[in-house]
Amino acid sequence: MKLFFRITGIIVAVLSLLLLLASPVAGVIFLVIGGLLIFLSIKLPKGVKFSTGRFAPEDADTVFIEYKDFEGNFSSRTIGILRAYRKRKGIYIEAFCHTANDNRTFLVERIVSMKKDDAIIEDVEKYITDKFLMKP
């Protein structure tokens, strides 16, 4: 089915370029339709779901956190950790937040507590560093 979308999309895109000469509006419409058909032919990597424009791998490391934002507000969230990275202000976690049903970024030093499979993770920074950051 994906091959059908890809071939049809390419044909529609080529025809739209020819149609642009005769009718610019119709050409643009066909070009958009061709682009959508080509987009539908894209195969996502295994284990990645496409949902509302966000990626939420099924095998993400799912944890429960209590978090204090920069304004001092507390929240409890279930997140699937996608990756971690360092910046000047500290270590950040990029995660799919199941509570908000959207991708979110968390500063590790603002995580008040973290649990995985009902086990409390005592040293959150060490857990994230050991599991998600590359070793030098």
Fold classification of 51-132 (topology level): SH3 type barrels. (2.30.30)
| SS3 at position 53 | coil
Q: What is the pLDDT of residue 67?
A: 96
Longest dimension (CA), the chain: 68
Packed helices 24-40 and 2-22: angle between N→C axes, nearest 10 degrees: 170
pLDDT mean over 50-65: 64
Q: What is the pLDDT of residue 108?
A: 95
**Residue 37: CB atoms within 10 Å:** 19
pLDDT mean over 50-62: 57
| SS3 at position 18 | helix
**Strand 119-120 to 74-87 pairing:** unpaired
CA distances (Å), origin 3, targets 20, 34, 130:
26, 13, 42
The most confident of 7-11, 92-96, 109-113, by mean pLDDT: 109-113
Q: What angle do CA 60, 78, 125 make, to 5 degrees?
A: 70
Q: What is the pLDDT of residue 60?
A: 72
**pLDDT tens by residue, 28-48:** 776 677 666 666 655 544 444
**pLDDT tens by residue, 68-77:** 999 999 999 9
